[in-house]
Chain A
Amino acid sequence: MRSLLGVMLCAASAYAQFSAEEKQLDIASFEKVWTTIRDKHWEKNPGGLDWNAIHREFLPKIEQARSADEARDIMRQMLARLKETHFAIFPASVYSDVDVESAGDGSPGIDVRVLEKQAVVTGIDPGSGAEKAGVKPGWVIRSVAGKDLAPAIEKLTADPAIREITLERAISARLSGPVGGKLHVVFLDGANQSRALDLALGEPRGNPSKFGNLPTEYVWTESKKLGNTGYFRFNLFLDLLRVMSGFSDAVESCQHCDGLIIDLRGNPGGIGGMAMGMAGFLVAKPNQRLGTMYMRDTTLNFVINPRAGVFTGPVAILVDGSSASTSEIFAGGLKDLGRARIFGTKTAAAALPSVIEKLPDGDGFQYAIANYISEGGKALEGNGVTPDVEVGLTREALLAGHDPVVDAALDWIQKQRTNR
């Protein structure tokens, strides 16, 4: 009996000690969130609020919080006062699922999206391990390196703060490993049969590109003709010289095309100025702009500088939930100017450089540092670009070898040709 009491006292003591440490971590997390917004929000008075008064109001609440969940809720209430999207706190358990580090540069060459809560192969890189192993668009990825994807997808899709692009990145990060290695992946094929394959991991598609402190990224472009319609796709607004040159060539070779399709699906952005530069090949009228970025001390207009040889035919831009940042600035601005018709699904609503940092208590804190208003007067942040024609990929279409989004764009371009 006496020994049992001793155990209970020890347990109580340990609980009290843990709780005090946890409280300190929660307070430190609160201070980090509050200070970050004070120093980095694009308005000196964030959200038009007296931010010091916010501190006075919420600090006592954090100090009285009885659990990490309660402290997180209080911090979320504070962020809600901003009435702005892109300010969020992820629980540590979710953050660890989001913040999956790539196991290496090696890639099996699979483009993946989550469609109806399944990780579906939407594209295969030419010459990749996946292509050589016979993987097809429309196959479902069940597990990677022995780990089922379903639980992570279920958890991440259940959190409203996690967007499609974050989900896609978390899954893509799992599809990696050392170059030259193998990755064991279990698929559900087109006949819904389980297929276990060891995929060779090669260099990612494209050319390695370095821009300042950003990690080396592999950038690729794809330019082709679909009948008499030009098609240009690229995976990042980086590798400026190669991408701009490729786009310039695509436009130049398409002066007599019925239309031009620019595919930004899966493109998470990059150098913001490239949106202005590329728009210059599509907009002939001077003094037009894609939108305006508001920082704490500066307002920057994303002005379009018309180039020689502007393409004047119909322009279709394809987007999805993984089209973010510069992709949204480009697509949203050209839509607002009436220069392009947008096809696909709503974009990531992450036009700005939102940063996700780990808080002292292990939670993830996401915040934006500027505001961007597209030329139509709407903030892209949190809203994204809503397509003129909403059409998404389906597993069935992919298995049948179709891309419904490209098909919709081609149909529209053909109608424009007929109407002309």
Chain B
Amino acid sequence: MIRKLAWIAVIAAGGAWAAQQVETPAPKPPAAKSEDLPKADTILDHFIEVTGGKAAYEARKGEITTGTFEMAAQGLKGPMTAYAAPPDKSYSVMKLEGIGDIQQGTENGIAWDNNPMLGPRVKTGDEKAEALREAAFNGQVDWRSLYDKAETVGVDTIDGEECYKVVLTPAVGKPVTTWFQKKSGLAVKRATTAVTAMGEVPVEVILSDYKNLGGVLQPTKMVQKAAGQEVIISIASVKTEEIPADKFDPPAEVKAKLKQ
């Protein structure tokens, strides 16, 4: 879900003309030698364990997430609801005052978005591949099927905690770097280059405030920086239940686009 929200900042960049820039990363300590580092498989599997275990993930048949997103510098805030189901069905809607409903979804190999400003759009290429990959239900467990390569590339300190830096490279699309705390095993930061309608945008997301939601530990606060904008996503609740299939039907205007 985190990545699905990434493009919002880009949309707002066109509107709010934010002045601030993405922060320059702090100088990093020297990376540990690769032979000293645990394999990425080990780190990723440990993450699954510490967040609830494979069985807990696989017990979930669908997920409804509610929360808010906020662009504090611009004074924009609104509620969001996201639905997800296997294998890669997703639908989310965010209601932003002054813009309206911002929708996006994936279903049956199709990825789309729709908002009052730009209208309906069907994603293609890397953008589509990325949307479908991020929509993969329980993608954390099935990462081996989503990425061709996983590599531990170093150790960074984030908020005073040492973290393993793991790069996941998909067959199509941009690599995703994730930082896992050595101590807790939790993912605390992600970075990638998002492919959006407006171009490629470096995105960083800080993950925090993990809580047991729907049977697994999930971050309930995500602070995302992209295109000079900061978006704070706060998760209020996660319900795990089967979602009716029609929930993922694209809106009529998107279906019309698909026919073109």
Contact = CB atoms under 8 A, between A and B. Distances in A.
A223 interface: no
A149 B198 CA distance: 45
Contact of A370 (B17, B197, B226): B17
A307 B119 contact: yes
Contacts of A244: 116-117
B161 interface: no
Contacts of B117: 240, 244, 271, 273-274, 276-277
A23 B97 CA distance: 47
B199 A299 contact: yes
Interface in A256-283: 270-274, 276-277, 280
B11 interface: yes
Nearest to B199: A301
A302 B118 CA distance: 11
Interface string B113-138: 00011111100000000000000000
Q: Which of B17, B118, B228, B256 gathers the greatest number of chain A CB atoms within 10 Å?
A: B17
Contacts of B201: 298, 300
B253 interface: yes
A296 B227 CA distance: 9
B11 A238 contact: no
B1 interface: no
A9 interface: no
Contacts of A369: 17, 19
A31 B129 CA distance: 47
B98 A305 contact: no
Contact of B197 (A212, A239, A240, A305): A305
B161 to A, nearest CB: 25
A152 B118 CA distance: 42
A303 B198 contact: yes
B15 interface: yes
B177 to A, nearest CB: 16
B15 A302 contact: no
A239 B226 CA distance: 25
Contacts of B17: 272, 352-353, 369-370
B16 interface: yes
Interface in B118-175: 118-121
Interface residues of A, number: 40
Interface string A203-246: 00000011111100000000000000000000000111100110
A296 B197 contact: no
B19 A353 contact: yes
Contact of A240 (B16, B21, B98, B121): B98
Contact of B15 (A245, A274, A280, A295): A274
Contacts of A245: 116
Given A244-B116, A352-B17, A210 B199 contact: no
B198 A300 contact: yes
Contacts of B71: 212
Contacts of A303: 197-198
B99 interface: yes
Interface string A120-138: 0000000000000000000
B199 A300 contact: yes
B202 interface: yes
Contacts of A50: none
A212 B13 contact: no
A53 interface: no
A213 B198 contact: no
B253 A308 contact: yes
Nearest to B100: A241
B19 A305 contact: no
A196 to B, nearest CB: 41
Given A277-B117, A308-B256, A295 B21 contact: yes
Contact of B97 (A210, A270, A353): A210
Contacts of A295: 13, 21, 227-228
B198 A301 contact: yes
Nearest to A307: B119
A197 B22 CA distance: 53
A81 B66 CA distance: 51
A116 interface: no
A64 B233 CA distance: 51
B14 A240 contact: no
B68 interface: no
A305 B118 contact: yes
B10 interface: yes
A155 B257 CA distance: 55
A263 B142 CA distance: 54
B75 interface: yes
A276 B19 contact: no
The 4 closest A-B pairs by CB, nearest first: A213-B75, A273-B14, A271-B15, A353-B17
27 contacts: A211-B15, A211-B76, A212-B76, A212-B97, A214-B75, A240-B99, A270-B15, A271-B99, A273-B15, A273-B117, A273-B118, A274-B15, A277-B118, A295-B227, A295-B228, A297-B202, A298-B202, A300-B14, A303-B198, A305-B121, A307-B119, A308-B257, A352-B17, A353-B19, A355-B19, A369-B17, A370-B17
